[in-house]
C-alpha cells in the first residue's frame, strides 16, 4: 500500500507539468481566433440602408403616328385551289363580293381556263374595301397567265406569257417500299420520279429490283413565278445506289440540240435492252383479296397489278 502511495506521489509533478503544457497550447492556438474576432469588432459596419435612392422620371418625345391618307384602299388576296373547289367557293375565300364577275367568268371565252381549276395552283385577286373585284390573276398553264381586269365597260380577260425564274433543286431520298413512295416522302414531283426510272432503266429494274436501303440523289430544274412553283423541268444529274452498286448520270446536250444522259466517263446510258420491258409508272391497284370492282360494282379478289397511265 505504501509503495502505491509513493508511486502516485512520484507521478504528480509529471501530471502538473503536462497540464501546464496543455494550458499553454490552448492559449497559443486561441490567439488567431482572438485576432479574427478583434478584426470583426474593429471593422466598421457596412450600412446600405442609408444610401440615398432617387427616382428619375423623364418624358420621351415619340414620333407622331402617321395617319393613313386612304383607309379605303385596294387589297390583294391569294388562295390555293383545293381539290373539288368551285369558282363560287374560291371567290368567297378571296373576299370577292361582286356578282358580275361570277357571270363573266362563266360566259367569257378568255376565262375558260378558270373554269378548269387545277388543285395546288394559286389565284390572286385585287379588291376594293367593299369587295368589288378589280383584277384577277391565275397561271392556267406553265406558259400563260390568265388576267381579268375591271374596266369602265366591264371586265376584260386576256392571256399573257408567264415570266419564269429557273432554280436548280437537289434532293435525296431512301427507298423503303417503292420509288414513288420515296419521292412522295421527299416532296419530289411525279414527273421527276418517272425521269429517274427512265434514266436508269437499262441498269435497274424499278418494278422488281429495288431493295430497302437503296438511295438516290438528284439535281433537277424548277421554274417559279413570284415565288410560286409553276412546273419542273429536266433532271440534270442523278446518282442511284441499288443493291450496293452506284449508278451515275449527267445530262449533256450537243451544239445541234440533241441531248442525252451519260456516265461521268462519257458512256451513253441509253442501251438497246431494258431491265424491265414495262414502262415504269405508279401502281394504281395491286394484289388483294378484296377490291371493289369499278364495273361490276361488287367486292371481289384482284389477282393482278394495275399501272397508272
* pLDDT tens readout for residues 228-282: 888 999 999 999 999 999 999 999 999 998 899 999 999 998 865 555 555 545 5
pTM of the model: 0.59
Cα distance between residue 104 and residue 154, in whole Å:
9
Domains defined along the chain, listed by start: 75-161 (3.10.450.350), 165-278 (3.10.450.350), 282-309 (no CATH)
* pLDDT tens readout for residues 53-77: 778 888 888 777 665 555 557 899 9
Structure-block grid coordinates of residue 70: 386612304
* pLDDT tens readout for residues 114-130: 777 888 888 999 999 88
Amino acid at each position: 500500500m505504501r509503495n502505491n502511495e509513493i508511486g502516485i506521489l512520484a507521478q504528480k509533478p509529471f501530471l502538473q507539468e503536462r497540464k501546464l503544457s496543455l494550458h499553454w497550447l490552448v492559449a497559443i492556438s486561441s490567439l488567431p481566433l482572438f485576432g479574427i474576432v478583434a478584426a470583426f469588432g474593429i471593422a466598421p459596419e457596412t450600412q446600405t440602408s442609408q444610401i440615398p435612392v432617387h427616382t428619375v422620371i423623364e418624358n420621351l418625345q415619340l414620333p407622331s403616328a402617321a395617319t393613313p391618307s386612304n383607309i379605303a384602299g385596294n387589297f390583294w388576296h391569294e388562295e390555293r385551289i383545293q381539290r373539288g373547289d368551285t369558282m363560287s367557293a374560291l371567290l368567297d375565300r378571296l373576299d370577292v363580293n361582286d356578282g358580275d364577275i361570277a357571270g363573266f367568268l362563266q360566259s367569257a371565252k378568255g376565262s375558260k381556263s378558270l373554269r378548269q381549276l387545277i388543285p395546288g395552283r394559286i389565284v390572286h385577286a385585287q379588291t376594293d374595301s367593299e369587295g368589288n373585284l378589280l383584277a384577277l390573276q391565275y397561271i392556267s398553264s406553265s406558259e400563260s397567265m390568265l388576267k381579268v381586269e375591271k374596266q369602265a365597260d366591264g371586265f376584260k380577260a386576256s392571256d399573257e406569257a408567264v415570266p419564269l425564274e429557273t432554280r436548280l433543286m437537289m434532293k435525296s431520298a431512301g427507298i423503303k417500299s417503292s420509288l414513288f413512295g420515296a419521292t412522295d416522302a421527299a416532296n419530289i414531283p411525279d414527273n421527276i420520279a418517272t425521269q429517274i426510272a427512265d434514266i436508269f432503266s437499262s441498269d435497274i429494274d424499278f418494278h422488281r429490283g429495288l431493295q430497302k436501303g437503296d438511295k438516290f440523289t438528284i439535281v433537277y430544274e424548277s421554274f417559279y413565278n413570284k415565288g410560286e412553283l409553276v412546273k419542273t423541268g429536266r433532271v440534270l444529274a442523278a446518282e442511284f445506289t441499288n443493291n450496293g452498286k452506284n449508278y451515275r448520270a449527267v445530262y449533256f446536250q450537243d451544239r445541234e440540240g440533241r441531248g442525252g444522259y451519260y456516265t461521268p466517263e462519257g458512256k451513253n446510258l441509253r442501251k438497246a435492252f431494258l431491265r424491265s420491258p414495262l414502262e415504269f409508272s405508279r401502281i394504281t391497284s395491286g394484289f388483294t383479296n378484296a377490291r371493289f370492282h369499278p364495273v361490276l360494282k361488287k367486292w371481289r379478289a384482284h389477282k393482278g397489278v394495275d399501272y397508272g397511265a
